[in-house]
Structure 1
Amino acid sequence: MRGKIFLALDFPVWEEAKNFIEQNDLQGVPVKVGMELFYREGSRLIDSLKQNHHEIFLDLKLHDIPTTVKRTMKNLAALGVDMVNVHALGGSDMIRQAKQGLTAGSSAGHIPKLIAVTILTSMNNHVMNDELGISGHLQDSTVHLSKLAFQSGADGVVCSVYEAGKIKNVCGPSFLTVTPGIRLSESANNDQKRIATPASARENRADILIVGRTVTDAKNPKAAYEKVRKEWLYGEKL
């Protein structure tokens, strides 16, 4: 799982996502499926992606009472996806029961990785303090939630690149750091606030990258994906 670059399929329907993959020769790359596409297409989308040998991060960010999350995770695990997530703010019992649901619903030897979302990369310190009412510094809250997730049985967290190293120091090298907000230097920031280049992610010890519009909005998406991959593997000086 480490070293993977998941392409965010942020398309409204499967036909658009499928055409994008085929037209840009991105068959078989790891993909992230979010709420917009999954809620429209359902499990048939997952089946289609698996038939074409894509690893799948099902990004639904569950946040509900523990029993509901456990039962939902049991159903999601049966789809055969590779990674799923919950909100760490749901608390330790919810995270533990999510893991139990994944284990109960999985086929032998294939339990999806459970990843906890810490603080969304669309948020900054002002939003966290003044709108959510969470005091302190954003990085400290992210590390605190990561430690909670680690102690509750999660396999890793979604965080920004800038927190990845600190999380590794607290939770250990095997705890996965999944980092969205990845942009090539020439790309727009869009609605992400805590963004970083692939080279910066490498320097900060991120394990898994999520790339979206820096690839899907590029004039040559295949070339953009390959540029991300090379920066990720070798740093900016290629």
Structure 2
Amino acid sequence: MQIKDRLIVALDVTEREKALELVEMLHDCCGMFKIGLEPFCIFGPTFVEEIQDRGGKVFLDLKFHDIPRTVAQAGRAAARLGVEMFNVHIAGGSEMMKAVVEAVREETAGKKQAKILGVTVLTSLGADELTRDLGIDRSPLEQVIFWAQEAKECGLSGVVASPREISAIREHCGRDFLIVTPGIRPAGFESGDQKRISTPGDAVRSGVDYIVVGRPILQAQDPRQAALDIVREMEEAIR
């Protein structure tokens, strides 16, 4: 895998033509495009196919969280779209995760299988929010490790976690367990609504597999150059 393939661009755009222009501009200098709830709800499943038609691969970031059968069926639908990866909330429990893993295995028998990632603690949450809003007494790091180990036991391909937990996940879950990291901000870019963040270089040095970058690329005067600069920073970090 080339370094550029480890960059996932978060395509958080509400205008279809603008989004597709970005795909045309960026598909050869990143590995995937992340389609989250907002663009998926606005443009629908055909948007995934339009990105694929333009040479882009898709990480479907809908964070499925429901009863096991419902999430299993949603996973089947995501697999039929041909996405590279999609995610579920680990908080949905082990039976939910096992059900979606089995459903996708059946759906893609003999074909390339979509990778299923487990969402751990959102990067917008800190220790105070975990305790006050969710009633979780573990620190964010402890909760992430707990959930990552559960996800691995249930057969998920990896997790979505903040940059601060990369090393610990590696230690507890091994090198082959995928880690996808949002909350990536180049030096000097404001953190926005993210609390547990890192630079591209630091994330790669910590052992991440993929980084997700949105606003620093989408809001740049030259999005392609911004993406290339991030790839260059990642390359320098592993030399």
TM-score of the pair, normalised by structure 2:
0.94
Could you tell me which amino acid in structure 1 is paired with residue 141 of structure 2? Q
Aligned-pair CA distance for 1:2: 8.2
How far apart in 2 are the matches of 1:67 and 1:89?
A: 15
RMSD: 1.6
Structure 2 unmatched ranges of 5 or more: none
Residue 12 of structure 1: aligned partner: 14
Q: Which range moves more in the overlay, 28-37 or 144-153? A: 28-37
State the distance in 1 between where 2:168 and 2:103 align: 29
Aligned equivalent of 1:26: 26
> Can you list the C-alpha shifts for 1:48-105, whole angstroms capped at 9, x where unaligned?
1111121110000000000110111111110100000000101111111111121222
Q: Which residue, 172, 175, 183 being the options, matches 1:173?
A: 175
Distance in 2, matches of 1:224 and 1:168, equals 29
The match for 2:61 among 51, 59, 62 is 59
**Pick from 112, 118, 141: which aligns with 1:110?**
112
CA 1:47 to 1:99, structure 2 compared with 1: closer, same or farther past 3 Å? same
**CA distance in structure 2 between the partners assigned to 1:51 and 1:222 by the alignment:** 19
Q: Is the 8 A contact 2:23 2:51 kept in 1?
A: no
Cα distance change, pair 80–21 in 1 and its aligned pair in 2 (3 A)? closer
* 2: CA distance, partners of 1:224 / 1:107: 39
| 1:121 matches 2:123 | yes
For 1:1-238, list aligned pairs within 5 A.
3=3, 4-22=6-24, 25-28=25-28, 29=30, 30-106=32-108, 108-235=110-237
Q: Displacement of 1:109 after TM fit?
A: 2.5
1:134-182 deviation digits (Å, cap 9, x = unpaired):
0021101001000000000000000011101110111110000100011
Residue type of the alignment partner of 2:118: A
CA contact (8 A) 2:7 2:211 kept: yes
Deviation at 1:18, TM superposition (A): 1.2
Q: Distance in 2 between matches of 1:19 and 1:176?
A: 29
Deviation at 1:27, TM superposition (A): 3.0
Give the count of matched residue pairs.
Answer: 235
